[in-house]
Structure formats: structure tokens, C-alpha cells
């Protein structure tokens, strides 16, 4: 007998409450996990209020933020106990756990925060937005032509760091009364400066193909996922051909809404295992690890869905194919790169090796790729994006210093908490 919706919802709430309490107890038992940084020791914070399932949005910023921390003291503010436990295991940055609003207020009162960075649009970001004397900056978790990238929510932030000219034009076309030139600061893709690492297979003559699909999406307009429509056929075709090595990296949310995507994903994983058992030299990879970078740099060709992964790959300047969504309701902004990209339709998956050969060797395809790399990311010379990221943060910190200095000089604001006092001579 089906469980009524209200009973199922109550069960979920109880289960989540139990998990949260268990995570809090585990945190309390870890020495130093709940310590706060010294007062007035932090200038830049990264605010992450989400659960572990969305940690991929923060992970891609670890290395650029580590570089930034050499210039400005940084902490990651975490609001979820289960997320904090995961971050303690993997995050290379200082962490602070602020579960309740009172904890957040206490932390803000003790620090001179100049810049707060946000990697997603979690509704709990608004609990941080209430503080006015700091810059709130959306840095996102990728560059793409998803409709997410032109959300009116951009207006909630003081500034946004965007990849390049394409992102600025996208915002200018989509948003009314939004000063793109002042509030959208292009920095390129700093993550691309760290796309490196040892590959988990021996080098040989095989063509390495990265297949990195997105999830099914939570609405019809964002149904970009290809695991069910393209994925099984792509994988079967490439696994049957000894010229190829496949790296399969599905989105961590694959199948959370649609069970058929979960089943297709399981089928692909099983096929990879079977192919490796059949051929000791194949070394096909099922990649569900936290680190993303070497996959993009190592692959000769990437196959991705409409997602930030398209543009992470684009930032490498290497060939890629984009799967065309089968849903007629999926919104595709073809005014930018998606209007000129190399599409892979579901009908072409059985001939995917022909499409791979085309994007690898066609002069016209390579020329188009070069044009769009520059338009989306500007200078992709190693280190250039990292320098622009750090310069943008420094510019905002300097501006904050100017504002704070004026407050201290003109109205006697105290150094620690910017509390306003009377001017000299006032009664």
C-alpha cells in the first residue's frame, strides 16, 4: 500500500533530523573542529550553506582559493554538519562551522570581512546577504549556457565574477537594469590553471575519450542529461573498438529524480567493468572521485552535455562534442557557443567514432573552437586566469578598505565592528 505524502514527508524530516544530530555529535567529538579563527583575522570568506551532494560546486574552487589565500586570509563558512564532516576530510582551506544564525552573527561581529564568495544560489545565501558592509560576490561553479547562468538572482549580489565576454553579453541580453560592465567582472577560468595530475592508466596509442554527462535536471527546461538517451549507445560503441579508452564521469546527482537515469548509469558502469575484464590493456575508467581536472586535460576528445563541463573543456582548447538534448522542452541558448558547437545527436551515437575523428582532424572545427575559447575565457595562457581572479578580489578588498576608512575617518567608526559614533563637536 502506498504511503501517503504527508507521512512520507514526516518520515524524511525525522530521518534528516536524526542524521543531523548524529553529524553534530561526531563534529563535537573531533578536537578543534568547532574552533573559530582569531578576531579580525579573516578578510575573505567562502559561504557554503549546502549539503554534501552539492560539494562538487565548491571542490572545483579549492586550488584557486588556496592560491588566493597566499594573499588574503580565507575561511570557508559551512552551515551543515554533514558537509562540515566531509570538508574536514578533504578541504585544504580553513573551515568554520556556523550552524545557527546566532553563530553567524557572532562570527561576522568578530571579523572584518571584506569579501564573501558564493559558488551557488542556495536560498540560505540570503542569511548572509543581510550584512551590508562587505561585498557579496557570486563566483558560480562553472561557465555554461544553461538558463541558470542568466538568472535574475545575479542582482542579489554586489558583484559577479564571470568567465569572459560571452558571459557579459549573456547577462546583458537577459537582465533588465543590470549594470553588467560595473558588476560582472571577467576573470576567465582559474580552475584551468590546475587541470593536471597523473593519469590512472599507462600511456599508449589509444584515443582517450571523456564522457561526462550531466544529471537529468529538476524541470523540463533543464533536461539536458544524456545518460539515458545517448550514454549507453556511446559507451557500447567505444568499448567495442580497441582504438579507444573511455573515461566515464557522470554527474553526482545522476538518477536522484528519474530512476531510468540511475539504471542507465548502472548499465554503463557494468559495461566498463566487463570490458576491462575482457581486455587487460583497455584500462577504461569509471571516475566518481572528487578531483576534477586531469580528466579534461588528458582526454583527446570530450563528450559532454549542456552544462558547465562544456566550458571547462573549452577552457583547455581541446576538441569536444556536445550532446543534443532529446527533449523538445530543453532550452538551448544558441546565441553563443552552442550555436556553433559540434553536436552529437542521439541518432548519431552508433557512429560516434566518425564524429570523434571529425572534431580531431577538421581544420574548420579547430578554427571554430579557437574562436569560442577566446570569446568565453579571454587569455588562456597558464596562470592568466588565476592572476585575474586574485586581482579582482584585491580590487574589491581595496575598495572595501576605502569605504571602511571613510567611515572611520568621517564618523568615527571603530576598527573591529564599524560601529558609528558621533563626529567631533556634536552634542
- Give residue limits of the domains in the chain: 29-188+379-427, 207-377
CA–CA separation, 209 and 317 (whole Å): 15
Q: Which CATH superfamily is domain 207-377 in?
A: Glycogen Phosphorylase B; (3.40.50.2000)
pTM (predicted TM-score): 0.75
Q: Which helix (H) or strand (E) holds 77?
A: strand 74-78
CA–CA separation, 261 and 24 (whole Å): 33
Q: What is the pLDDT along the chain (427 residues), one digit of tens a residue?
A: 555 667 776 777 777 777 778 888 888 888 878 888 999 999 999 999 999 989 989 999 999 999 999 999 999 999 999 999 999 999 999 999 999 999 999 999 999 999 999 999 999 999 999 999 999 999 998 887 677 788 899 999 999 999 999 899 989 999 999 999 999 999 999 999 988 778 999 999 999 999 999 999 888 888 999 999 999 999 999 999 999 999 999 998 899 999 999 999 999 999 999 999 999 999 999 999 877 789 998 999 999 999 888 988 998 889 999 999 999 999 888 878 889 999 999 999 999 999 999 999 999 999 999 999 999 999 988 899 999 999 999 999 999 999 888 766 654 333 333 333 333 333 3
CATH of domain 29-188+379-427: 3.40.50.11720
Phi, psi at 248, each rounded to 5°: -105, 115
Q: Parallel, antiparallel, or unpaired for β 285-286 and 207-212? A: unpaired
Phi-psi region of 375 (alpha: psi -120 to 50; beta: other; left: phi over 0): alpha
Nearest to residue 82, comparing CAs of 99, 69, 66, 94? Answer: 99
Identical fold at 29-188+379-427 and 207-377?
yes
Phi, psi at 353, each rounded to 5°: -65, -30
CA–CA separation, 78 and 257 (whole Å): 26
Amino acid at each position: 500500500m502506498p504511503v501517503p505524502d504527508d507521512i512520507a514527508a514526516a518520515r524524511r524530516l525525522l530521518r534528516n533530523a536524526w542524521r543531523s544530530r548524529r553529524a553534530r555529535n561526531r563534529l563535537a567529538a573531533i578536537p578543534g573542529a568547532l574552533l573559530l579563527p582569531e578576531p579580525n583575522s579573516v578578510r575573505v570568506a567562502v559561504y557554503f550553506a549546502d549539503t554534501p551532494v552539492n560539494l562538487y560546486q565548491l571542490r572545483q574552487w579549492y586550488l584557486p582559493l588556496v592560491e588566493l589565500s597566499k594573499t588574503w586570509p580565507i575561511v570557508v563558512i559551512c552551515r551543515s554538519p554533514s558537509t562540515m564532516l566531509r570538508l574536514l576530510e578533504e578541504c585544504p582551506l580553513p573551515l568554520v562551522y556556523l550552524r545557527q544564525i546566532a553563530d553567524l552573527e557572532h562570527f561576522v561581529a568578530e571579523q572584518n570581512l571584506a569579501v564573501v564568495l558564493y559558488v551557488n544560489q542556495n536560498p540560505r545565501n540570503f542569511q548572509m546577504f543581510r550584512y551590508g558592509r562587505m561585498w557579496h560576490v557570486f563566483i558560480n561553479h562553472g561557465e555554461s549556457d544553461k538558463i541558470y547562468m542568466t538568472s535574475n538572482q545575479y542582482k542579489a549580489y554586489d558583484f559577479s565574477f564571470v568567465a569572459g565576454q560571452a558571459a557579459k553579453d549573456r547577462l546583458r541580453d537577459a537582465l533588465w537594469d543590470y549594470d553588467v560592465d560595473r558588476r560582472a567582472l571577467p576573470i576567465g577560468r582559474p580552475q584551468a590553471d590546475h587541470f593536471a595530475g597523473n593519469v590512472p592508466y599507462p600511456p599508449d596509442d589509444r584515443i582517450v575519450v571523456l564522457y561526462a554527462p550531466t544529471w537529468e535536471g529538476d524541470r523540463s527546461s533543464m533536461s539536458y542529461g544524456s545518460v539515458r538517451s545517448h550514454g549507453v549507445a556511446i559507451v557500447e560503441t567505444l568499448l567495442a573498438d580497441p582504438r579507444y579508452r573511455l573515461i566515464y564521469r557522470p554527474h553526482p546527482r545522476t538518477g536522484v529524480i528519474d530512476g531510468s537515469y540511475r539504471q542507465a548509469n548502472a548499465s554503463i558502469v557494468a559495461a566498463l567493468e566487463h570490458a576491462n575484464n575482457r581486455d587487460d590493456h583497455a584500462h577504461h575508467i569509471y571516475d566518481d572521485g572528487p578531483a576534477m581536472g586531469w580528466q579534461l586535460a588528458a582526454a583527446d576528445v570530450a563528450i559532454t552535455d549542456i552544462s558547465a563541463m562544456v566550458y571547462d573543456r573549452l577552457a583547455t582548447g581541446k576538441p569536444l562534442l556536445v550532446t543534443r538534448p532529446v527533449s523538445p522542452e530543453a532550452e538551448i541558448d544558441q546565441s553563443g557557443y552552442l550555436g556553433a558547437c559540434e553536436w552529437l545527436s542521439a541518432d548519431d551515437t552508433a557512429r560516434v567514432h566518425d564524429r570523434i575523428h571529425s572534431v580531431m582532424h577538421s581544420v574548420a572545427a579547430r578554427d571554430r573552437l579557437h574562436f569560442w575559447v577566446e570569446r568565453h575565457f579571454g587569455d588562456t595562457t597558464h596562470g592568466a586566469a588565476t592572476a585575474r581572479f586574485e586581482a579582482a578580489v584585491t580590487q574589491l578588498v581595496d575598495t572595501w578598505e576605502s569605504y571602511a576608512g571613510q567611515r572611520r575617518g568621517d564618523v568615527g567608526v571603530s576598527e573591529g565592528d564599524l560601529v558609528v559614533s558621533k563626529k567631533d563637536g556634536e552634542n
